[in-house]
Structure 1
C-alpha cells in the first residue's frame, strides 16, 4: 500500500554513501525531511535532480529540514556520485528495494525504470507532500515550497 498524505513515514534503515548505517528514527519525527527516490546515479535526469537539491541544500537546512536521496544503486556508486557532484546530503543504498516498496514507489515505463517520487514530511514525521513526476527539475522547488509552508 503506497504512502498517502497524512500518513507517518515508516521506520527504515539502510547504508549511506559512506557505508555507515542510517536509521530513519534519527531524523524522522525530529525535523522536517525531504526523501526523494530516484532511478539511478550518474544518469542525466538524476544528476540534474541531485545537483538541484545540492544547490538549494542550504535553503532546506536554513528551514531546519534534511534531504535524503534513495535509489537501488550500491554504496560504492553513491559514494562516487556524492564525491563527483559534491552532494552534501544523505544518499541511501536500497539495493533490495525494501524502502522503495515500504513507501509504495511504483516503477515507470512498463516497470523498467524505478519511479521518481519526492516525499516531504513535517517535524512529526507526517507526510505533507507527495510529488510523483519523471521531470527531475520540478522536485526541488515543490519540496522547498512544501517545507516553507510547513514552518511558516
Structure 2
C-alpha cells in the first residue's frame, strides 16, 4: 500500500468510525430523526420490526465496521461503496436544511449536508481505485525504467562478440 493510501484511508474513515460509535452510544436520542425512514421501511416491508432506534444502531454499526475496514485497507473498495450508500440517506434524514426556518440553523445544516456530499464523492472516488494494493505510480514508473535498463544491458551484452 502506498504512503498516500496509508494516510488517506484512515483520514476518510475517521468520521465514520467516530460517528458510528457516537450513534451506537446515543441511539435513543438520535432515533427521532430516523422516524421517517422507519415508517417508510415499515410500510414497504411490514414483516421487519423497524424501530428508529434500531435503525440508528444498525447504521452506526455499519459505519464502524466499514469505516474500520476502509481505514485498515481491508476490502477498501467495498467498504467505501457501503459507506457511500449508507451516507446518502443518513445525510438526507440528518441534515434537512430545507426544513430550517432559522438562518443560523439553516446555514449549519447546509454546511453539514454539503460536507457529507463531499465525503460521498471521496468515497465514490475510492471505489474507482483500480488496484488498491498497487504501488504509487511514481514507484511503478521507476521500477519499469530499472527493469528496462536491465533488458537493454543484457541485449547489448548479447551483441558483443
Which of 1 and 2 has higher RCO (CA within 8 Å, sep 6+)? 1
The TM-score, its normalising length taken from structure 2, stands at: 0.23
The TM-score, its normalising length taken from structure 1, stands at: 0.23
Which structure dedicates a bigger proportion of its chain to helix? 2
Which structure dedicates a bigger proportion of its chain to strand? 1
Q: Which has the larger radius of gyration?
A: 2
